[in-house]
Amino acid sequence: MSITAIGLGLHFLLELCALAAMVYAGFRLGDTLPVRLLLGVVLPIAAALVWGVFRVPNDPGAAIVAVPGPLRLLIEWAIFGIAIGMLFVVGQSVWATVFLAAVAVDYVIMYERVLRLLG
pTM of the model: 0.92
Calculate mean pLDDT across residues 96-106. 96
Q: How far apart are CA 43 and CA 30, in angstroms?
A: 12
Calculate mean pLDDT across residues 38-64. 90
Q: Is residue 102 predicted with pLDDT exceeding 90?
A: yes
Long-range contacts of 41-48 (CB under 8 A, 24+ apart): 43/82, 44/19, 44/20, 47/18, 47/19, 47/22, 47/79, 47/82, 48/19
Residue 35 C-alpha from the chain's centroid: 22
Q: How far apart are CA 74 and CA 86, in angstroms?
A: 18
Tell me what pLDDT residue 23 has.
97
- The percentage of residues in the chain with a pLDDT greater than 90, rounded to a whole number, is 80
Calculate mean pLDDT across residues 49-58. 90
Tell me which range, 34-38, 50-54, 94-98, is most confidently predicted by mean pLDDT.
94-98
Q: Is residue 63 predicted with pLDDT exceeding 90?
A: no
What are the backbone dihedrals phi and psi of residue 54, each rounded to the nearest 5 degrees, phi first?
Answer: -90, 100
Are 6 and 12 a contacting pair, CB within 8 Å?
no
Calculate mean pLDDT across residues 75-97. 97
Tell me what pLDDT residue 79 has.
97
Contacts of 115 (CB under 8 A, 6+ apart): none
Tell me what pLDDT residue 119 has.
87
Q: How far apart are CA 40 and CA 79, in angstroms?
A: 14
